[in-house]
Amino acid sequence: MARYELVKRSVALITLTNPPVNALSSAVRHGIAKTMERALSDPKVTAVVICGENGRFCGGADIREFAGPLRGPPLVPLLDSIEAGEKPVVAAIEGVALGGGLELALFCHYRIAHFKARLGLPEVTLGILPAAGGTQRLPRLIGIPAALELITTGRHVSAQEALKLGIVDQVTEQNACEVAVEFALRAVAKPLSSRRLSSLTTPCPPNLDALLEAVTMQIQKKARGVMAPLACVQAVRAAATMPYSQGIKRESELMATLFNSGQARALQYCFFAERTAGKWTLPSGAQWNDIKPREIRSAAVIGLGTMGRGIAVSLARVGIPVIAVESDKKLLETGRQMVIGMLERDAKRRGVSASHNLLKFTLGLQDLKDVDLVIEAVFEDMALKKSVFRELSKVCRPATLFCTNTSGLDVDALAGVTDRPQLVIGMHFFSPAHVMKLLEVVCGPRSSSEIVATAMSLGKRMGKVSVAVGNCPGFVGNRMLKPYSDQATFLLEEGATPEQIDKALEDFGFAMGVFRMSDLAGLDVGWRVRKESGLTGPDVDPKNPPRRRQGRKYCPIPDMVCEQGRFGQKTGRGWYMYDKPGGTKAKPDPLIQNLIEMYRNRYGIQPRNITDQEIIERCLFALANEGFRILEDGIAARPEDIDVIYLFGYGFPRHRGGPMFYASMVGLQRVLERLEHYHQAHPDVPHLEPSPLLKKLVACGSPPVQKWREHIKTMHSHL
Ligand code: CAA
Ligand code: NAI
């Protein structure tokens, strides 16, 4: 796991060989220990270079080993011997030096980086801290403010930035290993004492306390309830205020508080879940690694509204020529200006030039005859979408792939009106489409494996986290959202306020509670959907008992809010009031309080005191319960897929791992008992009735989330 060679007669070249990222597994640590010992004891060797195989220095500790007991040599004593030696050791950094990888490099006396390399201490994103000396050595090397920023955010820096900060000694466009060998030979005669970071004093700013305080407050505001960044601040404080030997002890004490925490487990689960999500399998047996996606050289977007604009930008910025279509001249011109403006702002932010020449705008579908792929993003109206797809079947060449960005309509019904149902798929983007990372790839029963592979690969090319899901109303994300938001409105009826519910959810970790989020998205969208499905408006049967629709409990308060023209932020009024239309600062509105009180009076509802615990349990257990049903129905293949959808599309707090992982952490037995309790109290709310899969998993001893698949029937798989 670490190869040893003697080069230039006197340089020991140690290459880490643990593909794909040369993670520091126990075998690699053994390898480093053995090869370093050999290098330091061989009198022929005057200097050492450490590099990684396949152009990657090292991706840090092997995260998979965190779940088990520590095996192999511990990292810090091993690295101490590198620093303490009398022979210069140079790290040749190509690809990445992350986490323990960068820490290894910080124990070396010199660091040479290839110009394309990225460096960082991303441990905080895994719920831990850089405990192989990183929190003590980086501040000594680059000072407190810069080290604090890198360690508390986990941000990766380019080789150029690393050089500017002083993390590396040289950046090269040549082979970093060869350059490092030459560098090492030149370093042989030089004294090493000033190169040993443990012997340096941390350069300390005069306003240390104020700086640490400001960073702590920023973290508490941005990452409410997240432990690791706060522990990182404490560790960096130790680097500033303690000698190295004590600081390193403090670092490991802080690590001990984090290492086995639920947050660390959740964040590490998220790391792997994100990577698992791309690995789709269809009922036919076709899967991600054996189907070749089609190359997409041109695309079209139909409809330049909220979604179409962002989709056009997402395609153009990865170099795909786009033809954008609108329904009339004025809308086309507005859409054109918006798309170009978005593309320019995006390019400016990324420091590249905007690719205007890739965009064409037209009113005629006939201009799409030669494109490789079309993404339809017109209004959420089945008849309209069908007419667009019928027309596309006539004008596009037979091989063109058809995608719909519907947020919940039947993808197969749309496929059915085309001349190529096997080439039709859903690509459900999230708003704003050029910013949000999630893409649900909705596979209809007739979608071919080739189109699934192509949509998934196109999503990846656009920088999205793509998840393959089955076709059902609302797919995965929006289907689960319904029980979650229904619970929130039922809680309003029973005695809670929008701000109390939002606060409980925000304290849990959501960036926004359900009501603030609805105000942002626009309340009219859901109102229109409810009217179309006969839940509210003139089509409702007057014989319906109040507060019941289609045989189940229904809360009309959201409709009453919309009837007053309160559509959320865009109208300056919604569940909250805002200083102006488009304003973002939400203030509780006494009119909403009155509306809810009048409603309770009308139906004789006696408000009761509702605890935050009830809010969390009712909203989140109902959410997870629907997730279990989705797994049962074969609409999602794995709990990880559901969690990834909620993390990237719905702002679920990452340190909780996603709704399914959260349920497993709470304990499936407890989730089941609470759902049974709430369902007993609300028998007319079917979403609270525990799903058969949840009951089955509890009966099987509540296996960990990674093992649920073994208990899920696959015969109903829609994937
Ligand atoms: N441990 C174990 N497996 C890892 C890993 C790690 N540190 N880093 C990557 N992998 C695995 C991935 O799970 C993936 O496996 P599969 O192919 O089975 O899905 C494979 O390596 C390739 O990874 P990516 O798909 O992510 O490849 P990429 O080229 O897109 O990205 C990367 C490469 C930038 C290194 C990225 O994998 C990454 O960010 N890795 C994690 C880096 C990190 O957080 N390191 C800190 C670890 S904690 C630590 O080091 C503690 C300490 O102080 C000692
Ligand atoms: P929108 O109302 O902002 O835009 C729709 C656009 O389509 C309008 O500009 C309209 O002029 C255009 N259009 C209508 N008929 C057309 C035709 N025949 N040819 C060309 N253009 C036509 O709607 P939005 O929000 O962009 O939604 C589009 C689709 O995306 C819907 O299916 C919606 O459900 C879905 N969606 C919406 C999300 C959102 O947050 N807004 C999120 C995810 C999906």
Handedness of CA 706, 707, 710, 715 (dihedral sign): negative
Which residues are registered as beta bridge partners of 573?
Answer: 568, 577
pLDDT of residue 284: 87
267 CA from centroid of ligand 1 (Å): 13
- pLDDT at position 583 is 95
Is any atom of ligand 1 closer than 6 Å to the C-beta of 36?
Answer: no
CA of 432 to the centre of ligand 2 (A): 12
Q: Count up the domains in the chain and report the number.
A: 4
**517: containing domain:** 478-602
- If asked whether residues 154 and 40 sit together in one domain, one would say yes
Same-domain pairing of 413 and 519:
no
> Are residues 78 and 214 located together in one domain of the fold?
yes
pLDDT score of 525: 82
Q: Domain for residue 457, yes or no?
A: yes
Known catalytic residue at 450: no
pLDDT of residue 542: 80
pLDDT at 716: 67
Q: Are residues 49 and 69 in the same domain?
A: yes
- Are 503 and 513 in contact by the 8 Å Cβ rule? The answer is yes
Both 306 and 450 in one domain: the answer is yes
User: Cα separation of 395 and 493, whole Å?
Assistant: 52
Q: How confident is the chain (719 residues) per 10-residue block, as mean pLDDT?
A: 96 97 97 97 98 97 92 91 96 98 98 98 98 98 98 98 98 98 96 96 94 96 93 98 97 96 98 96 91 97 96 97 97 97 95 92 96 96 96 97 95 98 98 96 96 98 98 96 97 97 96 95 89 87 85 94 96 97 96 97 96 98 98 95 97 97 98 98 96 97 94 74
- Domain end, chosen from 442, 471, 500, is at 471
Residues 628 and 586 in one domain: no
Do the beta carbons of residue 719 and residue 471 sit within 8 Å?
no
Q: Is the Cβ atom of 405 under 6 angstroms away from ligand 2?
A: yes
Known active-site residue 173: no
* Calculated CA dihedral for residues 102, 103, 109, 111, nearest 10 degrees: 0
Candidate list 94, 123, 326, 626, residue with the active-site label: 123
Backbone torsions φ then ψ of 471, nearest 5 degrees: -95, 115
Out of 244, 259, 274, pick the residue that ends a domain: 259
Q: What CATH code is carried by the domain that includes residue 506?
A: 1.10.1040.10
Interacting residues of 351 by C-beta distance below 8 A, sequence separation 6+? none
Quick check: 133 and 107 in contact, CB under 8 A?
A: yes
Does residue 264 form part of some domain? no
Q: 302 CB less than 6 Å from ligand 2?
A: yes
Give the domain-ending residue among 227, 242, 259: 259
Alpha helices (H) along 295-405:
306-316, 329-350, 382-395
Per-residue tokens: 378: 């017109």
Q: What amino acid is encoded at 503 in this protein?
A: K
Q: Are residues 80 and 222 in the same domain?
A: yes
Q: Which ligand is nearest to the CA of 100?
A: 1
Is 284 part of any domain?
no
